[in-house]
């Protein structure tokens, strides 16, 4: 009977391998948990010391910054720097913006739950991810096609289902999806693109850095009021230029 029982059990080497695999998996999931905790601690500190301390106070924006895993939007070798107070390179000569600037621009945009927002300059997809829980839909355009593809893949992997990425020139906006309640631009043209003015709803807001390449740019808040656009300078900034062909 004993012999019969032994033949139904897996052999010892097999049992040993199964045990080993189980132990490795357990260590791997523990390591992932610790990583997750480590990044969450850094993120909490980022929000307190870099963002709240500089005057961003909208609780919805602060919660979105706390919830968005910036380390998932930077290259692997820069993950340890993801919560530092600076922009970081993302390839193709482009950057993910400084967390404080992302928070400040998001607050200035005054996003509301039922709204549709257009972003020009997807880059890594991080700004779009921050906006995602604050509005109904985010439409985001990126002129560098591989960046658009990578951002779309990252956003899909992380479950940001209300963000639509399109590769194309944001100078022209996204007429098929217009009008928008708000528009946020994260690259600097030398003047406000006329198409973006047109694609903004009456009562809508636009946050945009404007200025010539190499010079100090101004971050501007525009509010559309019928035929007029009220304009307020927020602060001097330095963004990568808006590229693309311009009609004369």
CA distance 52 to 141: 29
Compose the 37-76 pattern: x for residues touching ligand SAM by CB under 6 A, - for all others.
Answer: ----------------------------------------
Rounded to the nearest 5 degrees, what angle is found at the Cα of 244, between the Cα atoms of 222 and 88?
75
| Closest CB to ligand SAM among residues 147, 210 | 147
Q: Provide the pairing of β-strand 94-96 with 116-120.
A: unpaired
Q: How many helices (H) and strands (E) does the chain have?
A: 7, 9
Does the annotation mark 80 as catalytic?
A: no
Q: Which stretch binds ligand SAM (CB under 6 A): 1-9, 11-19, 123-131, 175-183?
A: 123-131
Q: Which stretch binds ligand SAM (CB under 6 A): 5-13, 109-117, 138-146, 226-234?
A: 138-146
Compose the 71-110 pattern: x for residues touching ligand SAM by CB under 6 A, - for all others.
Answer: -----------------------xxxx-------------
Spell out where the chain has E strands.
88-91, 94-96, 116-120, 137-142, 163-167, 180-185, 200-210, 217-225, 228-237
Q: Does 167 participate in binding ligand SAM (rule CB under 6 A)? A: no
- Active-site choice (29, 57, 97, 124): 97
In the numeric block, which tokens belong to residue 243? Answer: 């590229």
Residues 175-204 that bind ligand SAM (CB under 6 A): 186-187
CA distance 227 to 128: 28
CA distances from 215 to 93, 169, 191, 192 (A): 18, 22, 13, 16
Q: Does 147 participate in binding ligand SAM (rule CB under 6 A)? A: yes
- Residues with catalytic annotation? 97
Residues engaged in binding ligand SAM (CB under 6 A) = 94-97, 120-121, 123-124, 126-127, 141-144, 147, 169-171, 186-187, 239-240, 242-244
């Amino acid at each position: 009977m004993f012999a019969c029982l032994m033949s139904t059990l897996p052999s010892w080497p097999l049992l040993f391998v199964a045990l080993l695999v189980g132990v490795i998996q357990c260590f791997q999931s523990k390591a992932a948990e610790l990583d997750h905790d480590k990044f969450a601690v850094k993120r909490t500190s980022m929000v307190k010391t870099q963002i709240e301390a500089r005057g961003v106070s909208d609780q919805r924006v602060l919660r979105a910054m706390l919830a968005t895993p910036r380390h998932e939007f930077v290259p692997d070798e820069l993950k340890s720097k993801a919560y530092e107070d600076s922009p970081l390179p993302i390839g193709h000569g482009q950057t993910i913006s400084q967390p404080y600037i992302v928070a400040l621009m998001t607050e200035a945009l005054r996003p509301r739950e039922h709204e549709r927002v257009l972003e020009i300059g997807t880059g890594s997809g991080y700004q779009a991810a921050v906006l995602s829980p604050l509005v109904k839909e985010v439409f985001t355009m990126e002129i560098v096609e591989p960046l658009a593809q990578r951002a779309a893949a990252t956003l899909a992997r992380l479950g940001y289902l209300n963000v639509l990425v399109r590769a194309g020139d944001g100078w022209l906006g996204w007429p098929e999806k217009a009008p928008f309640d708000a528009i946020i631009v994260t690259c600097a043209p030398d003047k406000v693109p006329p198409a973006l003015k047109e694609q903004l709803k009456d009562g809508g807001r636009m946050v945009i850095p404007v200025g010539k390449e190499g010079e100090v740019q101004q971050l501007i808040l525009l509010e559309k009021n019928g035929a007029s656009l009220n304009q307020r300078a927020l602060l001097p900034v330095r963004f990568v230029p808006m590229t693309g062909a311009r009609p004369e």
